[in-house]
Amino acid sequence: MSLKSLCFAFILLIFISNVNAQEFEYEFKRLTVKDGLSHNNVYTIIQDKDGYMWFGTQDGLNNYDGYKISIFRHEPNNSNSLTTGNFGKIYQDSR
């Protein structure tokens, strides 16, 4: 093996070692009613294109922006509110 190819192999080995040594850290945060979630029974979760988390619970639709939870519920006397308070699935459309 020539000196040139030995140096190349050594540099490649160092590069591969550095790539493999990088750690990927993920943080999981558990949200409960103590954090503001409307109900602990979460049936569906989706992350929208803007990074917001949406949770369909037994008691409304919850939006989490990483700091606070906003709750959207069915209000019987409000025709502009959600049609139901119990969510089984959430889908994101193209808009």
Judge whether 9 lies within some domain.
no
Judge whether 23 lies within some domain.
no
Judge whether 77 lies within some domain.
no
Judge whether 55 lies within some domain.
yes
Structural domain boundaries, residue 49: 28-72
- Contacts of residue 44, Cβ cutoff 8 Å, sequence gap at least 6: 55, 56, 87, 88, 89, 90
Q: Per-residue pLDDT tens for 19-62?
A: 554 566 767 778 899 999 999 999 999 999 899 999 999 888 99
| pLDDT given at position 64 | 94
Judge whether 65 lies within some domain.
yes
Judge whether 49 lies within some domain.
yes
Dihedral Cα 62, 64, 28, 95, nearest 10 deg: 90
Judge whether 88 lies within some domain.
no
Q: Is the whole-model pTM more than 0.85?
A: no
CA 11, CA 69: separation in Å to the nearest integer? 49
Judge whether 78 lies within some domain.
no
Structural domain total, the chain: 1
